[in-house]
């Protein structure tokens, strides 16, 4: 009879990614007597099944030859390596400079300008609307996910090159285009809009921001202990799911399809337009073209982490993590704007204006308020009306986008998806005070102030 099977657990230091797991496992399997070896980077351990007791010196040599060492891995809450913190500081400075340049050069209005041009309803304009989305609010939500996906794949496949390098991005965008077209056709067929509304939409956006924030923090490397935890399956199971350390094309495809349900104002606006076509074929075409329009921007934002190679790879991942964190902060701030209590401030909290604002007039027994909905938000964003009198709110939508999906919960309106052109909403503000409203993502805001009639 042969020697009895022995299960051993080794502590391995120095592993930082899935590629590390693969290298250590491959080295251990070459040690005489080893039947199988599974390695967990998050736990810093190697699980070995062998025929009898192993040669300790041979095991140590195999691990060190792979570039790692035996022993417990210290995982402090905060990184002690100054280079990690220097990379984080450089990343923050770069994000701030890019944001400043974006505003100074007027690039923040580029997406809005394209969005205004795209409001004609023509299919070519729908394609341009997708481009506008990829240059503005949807980039803040979907872009962070794409960067995280690309960076995670790059860490697990440091030797990927050519087409394989962009594989997760191509799969994500393919799933996005196909999924948007099919789900868009469903909108046209059943006459419903697959979108969240009001506070549920904000909660979904906040959840996405928290996941992005966690992924970004892991990529920065500033907290080794947090970086040790990841949303992955056990090594023994991921090894059976196919090549690539657990990555599967179908997962990236499904993630791209699922982005149809993410609370992006542009997506919701186009969903409403698709519904208005009254045709499953045209609705599917509208949503598919919109997704195609977003593809260049989403591919572009994933290039940097995908190209991370060699000695500079970790630094690029650190910078990517800071960018993903910035996306997370933008989304979290928007969600908080929607979720903050009631959106109402009593007169004691604000200084009451002397009279109604210039954009209010009396017509047909109602106070008519005219607001332009552009790619830049609501113009004017403030209105003063009399409390207790009906308000007829005329919204002229000149650009489909985040601002064209209005969260008017404090006004008693809930979430209203506006179509291109003039829209009418009616309500009455019973108590004096200031009522806040915003776009569905909380990025653009406005107020109605109700005063007592003299």
Asked if the model's pLDDT at residue 110 lies above 70, the reply is no
448: pLDDT confidence band, cut at 50, 70 and 90? very high
347: pLDDT confidence band, cut at 50, 70 and 90? low
Asked if the model's pLDDT at residue 103 lies above 50, the reply is yes
Are 50 and 185 in a shared domain?
no
44: pLDDT confidence band, cut at 50, 70 and 90? confident
pLDDT of residue 429: 93
pLDDT of residue 235: 43
**Is residue 77 in some structural domain?**
no
Are 63 and 115 in a shared domain?
no
Which pairing describes strands 366-374 and 360-363: parallel, antiparallel, or unpaired?
Answer: antiparallel
Domain interval for residue 178: 82-339
Which of the two residues, 2 and 431, has the higher pLDDT score? 431
Per mean pLDDT, which range of 179-183, 218-222, 303-307, 446-450 is the poorest?
Answer: 303-307
Asked if the model's pLDDT at residue 118 lies above 60, the reply is no
**Is residue 61 in some structural domain?**
yes
Are 239 and 387 in a shared domain?
no
Q: Which spans in 259-399 are helix H? A: 265-276, 280-301, 303-306, 313-339
In sequence order, the 6+-apart residues with CB closer than 8 A to the CB of 298 are 134, 139, 142, 143, 146, 169, 172, 173, 176
Are 193 and 303 in a shared domain?
yes
405: pLDDT confidence band, cut at 50, 70 and 90? confident
Are 274 and 307 in a shared domain?
yes
Asked if the model's pLDDT at residue 281 lies above 90, the reply is no
Asked if the model's pLDDT at residue 243 lies above 60, the reply is no
**Is residue 211 in some structural domain?**
yes
Task: Spell out the SS3 assignment of 26-39.
Answer: HHHHCCCCEEEEEE
Asked if the model's pLDDT at residue 2 lies above 70, the reply is no
Query: In the chain, how many domains are there?
Result: 3
Asked if the model's pLDDT at residue 138 lies above 80, the reply is no
**Is residue 411 in some structural domain?**
yes
pLDDT of residue 233: 38
239: pLDDT confidence band, cut at 50, 70 and 90? very low
Asked if the model's pLDDT at residue 366 lies above 60, the reply is yes
Percentage above 70 pLDDT, the chain: 77
Last residue within a domain, chosen from 295, 312, 339: 339
**Is residue 75 in some structural domain?**
no
Last residue within a domain, chosen from 70, 92, 122: 70
Most confident of 104-108, 182-186, 400-404: 182-186
106: pLDDT confidence band, cut at 50, 70 and 90? low
**Is residue 254 in some structural domain?**
yes
Q: How many whole angstroms separate alpha carbon 145 and alpha carbon 371?
A: 34
CATH number, domain at 40?
A: 3.30.70.100
449: pLDDT confidence band, cut at 50, 70 and 90? very high
231: pLDDT confidence band, cut at 50, 70 and 90? very low
Please give the average per-residue pLDDT across 238-245, as a whole number: 37
Asked if the model's pLDDT at residue 386 lies above 90, the reply is yes
Last residue within a domain, chosen from 70, 91, 125: 70
**Of the candidates 355, 383, 350, 367, the residue with the CA atom closest to the CA atom of residue 454:** 355
Per mean pLDDT, which range of 71-80, 343-352, 357-366 is the poorest?
Answer: 343-352
Asked if the model's pLDDT at residue 329 lies above 50, the reply is yes
- This prediction has a pTM of 0.61
pLDDT digits (tens, 9 = 90+) for 16-42: 666 778 889 999 999 998 998 988 877
pLDDT of residue 251: 81
DSSP 8-state code for residue 139 = I
Are 366 and 320 in a shared domain?
no
Most confident of 167-181, 210-224, 256-270: 167-181
pLDDT of residue 244: 36
**Is residue 230 in some structural domain?**
yes
**Is residue 76 in some structural domain?**
no
Are 239 and 329 in a shared domain?
yes
pLDDT of residue 246: 45
Please give the average per-residue pLDDT across 190-218, as a whole number: 70
288: pLDDT confidence band, cut at 50, 70 and 90? very high
Are 200 and 319 in a shared domain?
yes
Phi, psi angles (nearest 5°) of residue 35:
-85, -45
Are 223 and 288 in a shared domain?
yes
Asked if the model's pLDDT at residue 294 lies above 80, the reply is yes
Are 39 and 166 in a shared domain?
no
pLDDT of residue 321: 81
CATH number, domain at 393?
A: 2.60.40.420
Are 245 and 356 in a shared domain?
no
Q: Tokens 């905060």 — which residue?
A: 78
Please give the average per-residue pLDDT across 292-319, as a whole number: 74
Q: Tokens 């906040």 — which residue?
A: 206
Cross-strand partners of 427 = 391
What Rg do the C-alpha atoms of the chain give, in angstroms? 27
Most confident of 19-28, 62-71, 154-163, 365-374: 365-374
Which residues in 181-204 are b (16+ Cβ under 10 Å) and which e?
bebbbbbbeeeeeebbbbbebbeb
Asked if the model's pLDDT at residue 162 lies above 70, the reply is no
Are 203 and 241 in a shared domain?
yes
């Amino acid at each position: 009879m042969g020697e009895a099977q022995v299960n051993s657990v080794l502590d391995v230091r120095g592993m930082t990614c899935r590629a590390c797991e693969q290298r250590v496992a491959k080295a251990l399997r070459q040690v005489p007597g080893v039947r199988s070896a599974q390695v967990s980077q998050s736990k810093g351990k190697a699980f070995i099944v062998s025929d009898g007791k192993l040669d300790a010196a041979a095991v140590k040599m195999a691990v060190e030859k792979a570039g790692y060492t035996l022993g417990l891995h210290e995982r402090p809450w905060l990184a002690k390596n100054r280079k990690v913190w220097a990379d984080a500081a450089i990343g923050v400075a770069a994000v701030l400079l890019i944001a400043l340049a974006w505003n100074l050069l007027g690039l923040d209005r580029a997406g809005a300008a394209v969005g205004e041009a795209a409001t004609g309803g023509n299919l070519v304009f729908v394609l341009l609307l997708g481009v506008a989305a990829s240059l503005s609010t949807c980039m803040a939500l979907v872009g962070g996910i794409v960067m995280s996906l690309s960076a995670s794949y790059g860490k697990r496949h440091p030797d990927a090159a050519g087409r394989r390098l962009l594989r997760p991005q191509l799969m994500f965008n393919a799933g996005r285009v196909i999924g948007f077209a099919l789900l868009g056709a469903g909108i046209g067929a059943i006459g419903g809009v697959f979108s969240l509304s009001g506070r549920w939409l904000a909660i979904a956006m906040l959840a996405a921001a928290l996941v992005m924030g966690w992924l970004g923090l892991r990529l920065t490397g500033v907290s080794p202990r947090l970086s040790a935890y990841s949303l992955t399956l056990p090594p023994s199971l991921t090894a059976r799911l196919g090549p690539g350390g657990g990555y599967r094309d179908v997962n990236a495809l499904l993630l791209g399809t699922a982005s149809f349900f993410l609370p992006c104002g542009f997506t919701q606006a186009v969903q409403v337009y698709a519904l208005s076509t009254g045709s499953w074929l045209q609705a599917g075409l509208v949503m598919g073209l919109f997704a195609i329009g977003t593809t260049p921007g989403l591919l572009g934002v994933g290039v940097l982490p995908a190209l991370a190679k060699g000695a500079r790879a970790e630094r690029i991942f650190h910078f990517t993590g800071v960018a993903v964190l910035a996306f997370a902060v933008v989304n979290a701030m928007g969600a908080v704007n929607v979720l903050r209590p009631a959106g109402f401030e009593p007169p004691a909290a604000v200084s009451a204006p002397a009279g109604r604002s210039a954009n209010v007039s009396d017509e047909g027994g109602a106070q008519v308020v005219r607001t332009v909905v552009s790619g830049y938000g609501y113009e004017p964003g403030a209105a003063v009306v009399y409390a207790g009198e009906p308000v007829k709110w005329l919204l002229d939508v000149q650009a489909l986008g985040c601002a064209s999906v209005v969260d008017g919960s404090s006004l008693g309106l809930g979430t209203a998806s506006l179509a291109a052109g003039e829209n009418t909403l009616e309500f009455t503000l019973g108590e004096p005070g200031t009522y806040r409203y915003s776009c569905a993502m909380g990025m653009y805001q406005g107020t109605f102030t109700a005063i007592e009639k003299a």
